Amino acid sequence: MSPRPGFVLEVDRSTPATLIWHGEGFRLERLPVGSRIIYGPEPLPPLADPDQAIRDALDNPLGDSQPLRTLLFPGMRLTIAFDDISLPLPPMRAPDVRQRVIEAVLDLAADAGVDDVVLIAALALHRRMTDPELRHALGDRVFEAFAPHGLLMQHDAEDPSNLVDLGVTDHGEDVEINRRAAESDLLIYVNINLSAMDGGHKSVATGLASYKSIKHHHNVRTMLNSRSFMDRHHSELHSSNWRMGRFIAESGVKLFQIETTLNTDTFPKELAFLQKREWEWSLKDRASFLATSTVLGRTPGGLSRKIFHSVYAPHDLTSVQAGAVEPVHEATLVNLYRQQLVEVSGQTDVLTMGLPYIGPYNVNSTMNPILVACLGLGYFFNLYKGKPLVREGGVVIISHPTPWEFNPVHHPSYIDFFEQVLAETRDMFEIEAKFEESFATDPWYVHLYRTSYAYHGVHPMYMWYWCSHALAHLGRVIIVGGDRAAVRRLGFSPASTFEDALELAEDVVGRDPTITHLRVPPLLMAEVT
């Protein structure tokens, strides 16, 4: 039976309660009659033979690229960059798709007699990956072959000796990327395209770039002009990356792009109810829900975090395409939309969403309040093509505990941003003008980014900028069940229950508003007409 497409359910009296994520927990909530719930398509069937599909893609590239095997030759410098820990979400069970692709590439390189090969985790300004995380992404064979010999590197956006300034685009954007990548005879970038934002020219222009370069597209102006940043043809974030990517190619960097899409099989069997439609829950699903909820309710926060972060997704490969960046990415988007796109008719007054325990920047870490805002108003709000799901002046209601809690190893500058900057101002432009430079160049943040496992000093600001489109668009943001002080620090309204939140929302949008619930995860993208 082929998977069913996504759809929009209208809640009536017979509709069972809806599962709503709440950080490291979830609950069932009855939405008002007449509300809409957006469900994503069911997981697409996996490729029957993913390894063969990868080999086929490498041999049959898209665009004007030659088959990979013909681009490899003895004595060449080959660099393979790959997406970091922020993808996929949750991390996928072994073998990770990066492992499959890189093993296939390395087989071809070995056949061609290439012996100068370096792997680079394309961190951009993200934290370094730990050895276990790298081993999981690459597999034992690749990790053991490269890591002990110093050939498995992590991009360091603050290492001037390993950055090269390629020049400036016709829009005045500095293009500075990883020297090894730029000076290789061939750069191969291995993507996991979990969302429509990922991949394309953004892979190299962001993943392997320096702050000097990244700041041209990660700023308030581009964010306000990205509607949405999940729709690259209407995203200034992507336009800037595309200019840079083309400039990189014109500078002589030879790139072979590999992009992959996964299905939305997000949770293992024991948690399968999390991705099923509630009225189709079996007795076993109900029992699993009850048992999981009960256990989580009695488990201390730290332990439940550990439990959730040990969950690996059974994601399967649904497509792989390789070759020239732009045709590859267009094909990727077709495959991605095939899995994620849901048609939604009309906007809503109130958009509700339950945020799960994980986002791109807290894998094996804490989802601090900035990341809550970013996941809700940056990522989830922007999961649209066409028009935002919620109308201008509308309300977003987020369910998440939003603890005033930070991981000081991963997010040191987040603490200072939250405590010191947001206490003074939430204004995006003021923050950008007054604080960004000092956070970006702070020697301690730089030290921790380079030598520990810290996100770059400027990263919390980017996460705040990520919210700018939503904040400019919305009349109010309400967080249900959050730490009230933390919620207020973000500038949002706290509410104890969904009912309270809806009452608060009515102050902004009027009585009897239209309500739409975004049932994510599993990931979907709404095409709003």
Partner 1 sequence: MKALKFERNVPRFAAARVASAIVGSGKGVRVGPLELVELDPIEIPGPSWVRLRPRLAGICGSDLATLDGRSSRYFEHIVSFPFIPGHEVVGDVEGGALDGRRAVIEPVLGCEARAIEPPCPACAVGRKGSCERIAFGHLRPGLQTGYCRDTGGGWSTGLVAHESQLHAVPDDFSDEAAVMVEPAACAIHAALASEIAGGERVIVLGAGTLGLCVIAALRALCLPGALVAVAKHASQRKLARDLGADQVVKPGEHKRAARRLSGSLALESDGGDIERLTGGVDLVVDCVGSSDSLQQSLEVVHPGGRIVLVGMPGVVKVDLAPLWQREIELRGAYAYGSEDRPDGPRSTFQLAMDLVRDARLERLVSARYPLERYEEAVAHAAAAGRRGAVKIVFDMRKAGSGPGGPGSGAGRPNAADTTKEAK
Nearer to partner 1 by C-beta: 166 or 431? 431
Strands 174-178 vs 186-190: parallel, antiparallel or unpaired: unpaired
Is 430 an interacting residue with respect to partner 1 (CB under 8 A)? Answer: no
Q: How many residues touch partner 1 (CB under 8 A)?
A: 20
Nearer to partner 1 by C-beta: 101 or 454? 454
- Cα dihedral across residues 156, 158, 160, 161: positive or negative: negative
- The 459-498 site mask, x for binding partner 1 (CB under 8 A), equals --------------------------x--x----------
Q: Are 92 and 314 in contact (CB under 8 A)?
A: yes
> 466: Cβ–Cβ under 8 A, 6 or more apart, which residues?
223, 374, 377, 378, 379
- Please report, as residue ranges, which positions from 238 to 257 form the binding site for partner 1 (by CB under 8 A): none
> 119: Cβ–Cβ under 8 A, 6 or more apart, which residues?
79, 80, 81, 82, 102, 138, 142, 146, 151, 152, 153
CA distance 29 to 509: 22
Note the helical H segments in 119-235.
131-146, 179-182, 202-207, 211-214, 220-224
The stretch among 70-78, 105-113, 207-215, 440-448 that binds partner 1 (CB under 8 A) is 440-448
If you ran DSSP here, which 8-state letter would residue 273 be given? G
CA distance 62 to 105: 16
Is 158 an interacting residue with respect to partner 1 (CB under 8 A)? Answer: no
Omega of the bond leading into 401 within 30 degrees of 0 (cis): no
CB of 205 to partner 1, least distance (A): 30
Nearer to partner 1 by C-beta: 308 or 404? 404
The stretch among 59-67, 79-87, 93-101, 413-421 that binds partner 1 (CB under 8 A) is 413-421
Is 438 an interacting residue with respect to partner 1 (CB under 8 A)? Answer: yes
DSSP for 372-384, written as a single string: HHIIIIIIITT-E
Q: Are 477 and 471 in contact (CB under 8 A)?
A: yes
Structure tokens at 166: 């390629």
CB of 402 to partner 1, least distance (A): 13
Which residue in the set 75, 172, 443, 510 belongs to the binding site for partner 1 (CB under 8 A)?
A: 443
Is 444 an interacting residue with respect to partner 1 (CB under 8 A)? Answer: yes
The stretch among 68-76, 127-135, 381-389, 403-411 that binds partner 1 (CB under 8 A) is 403-411
Which residue in the set 183, 419, 499, 507 belongs to the binding site for partner 1 (CB under 8 A)?
A: 419
Helix (H, G, I), strand (E, B) or coil at 471: helix
Q: Scanning the structure block, which residue is given the tokens 């991705």? A: 275
CB of 407 to partner 1, least distance (A): 7
The stretch among 174-182, 240-248, 273-281, 404-412 that binds partner 1 (CB under 8 A) is 404-412
Nearer to partner 1 by C-beta: 141 or 434? 434
Nearer to partner 1 by C-beta: 28 or 485? 485
Nearer to partner 1 by C-beta: 26 or 445? 445
Query: Residue length, the chain?
Result: 529
Structure tokens at 100: 């499959």
Interface with partner 1 (CB under 8 A): 404, 407-410, 412, 415-416, 419-420, 423-424, 438, 442-444, 447, 452, 485, 488
